[in-house]
Homo-oligomer: A and B are copies of this chain.
Amino acid sequence: MAASDILKPESLAKVLSEHGVRPTSQRETVYQSLLNKRTHPTADEVFARVRETAPTISLATVYNCLDVLVQNKLVRAVNFERAPTQYCANLAPHAHFHDEAGRTLDIEMPTEVIDQLRDLLPDDFDVKHIEVNFHGRAPQND
């Protein structure tokens, strides 16, 4: 599946099951909301989005769903200093650029760069995840 695909309901459920996530309507809605609009929303923002289609969903459930999606590697959690966690449905290896205006941008990261970072560590380190965050000022028209 290409990262930018918007899934039909039935394939959405299928993707969830295939990743070991029991497909519930809440999980589908939360996941779909991340796929539809590729910004980097916080849990609160996801909550606001999904309320439109699922008005009875609770914030606790949004947190639960996001956790499950992250744990099953369908979604990435991104953390910047003193900011609430943001969520990202882009699964291709990438870094994040964090704008002073608050924007978050995906930055492609080729495999060889990732490998080089991995090589900074001794072999007996077992690396689960590498996180690269840039902070600064991005040009306006981007």
Is the beta-carbon distance between A130 and B127 smaller than 8 angstroms?
no
**In contact, B107 and A113 (Cβ under 8 angstroms):** no
- The chain B residue with its CB closest to the CB of A79 is B81
How many copies, total? 2
Query: Is A47 in contact with chain B by the CB < 8 A criterion?
Result: no
Complex: how many Å from CA A121 to CA B124?
Answer: 31
Identify the closest chain B residue to A129 (Cβ).
B135
Taken together as a complex, chains A and B put the C-alpha atoms of A124 and B99 apart, in Å, by: 13
B131 touches A133 (CB 8 A): yes
Q: Taking A82-B85, A120-B95, A133-B131 as contacts, is the C-beta distance between A125 and B138 under 8 angstroms?
A: yes
Q: Which range contains the number of A residues in contact with the other chain?
A: 20 to 34
Within 8 A of B (CB), among A127-142: 127-139
The smallest C-beta distance from A42 to any residue of chain B, in angstroms, reads 13
Contact of A136 among B79, B109, B126 (CB under 8 A): B126
Across the interface, which residues of B come within 8 angstroms of A117, CB to CB? 95, 113, 132, 134
CB within 8 Å of B: which residues of A? 77, 79-82, 85, 95, 97, 107-109, 113, 116-117, 120-122, 124-139
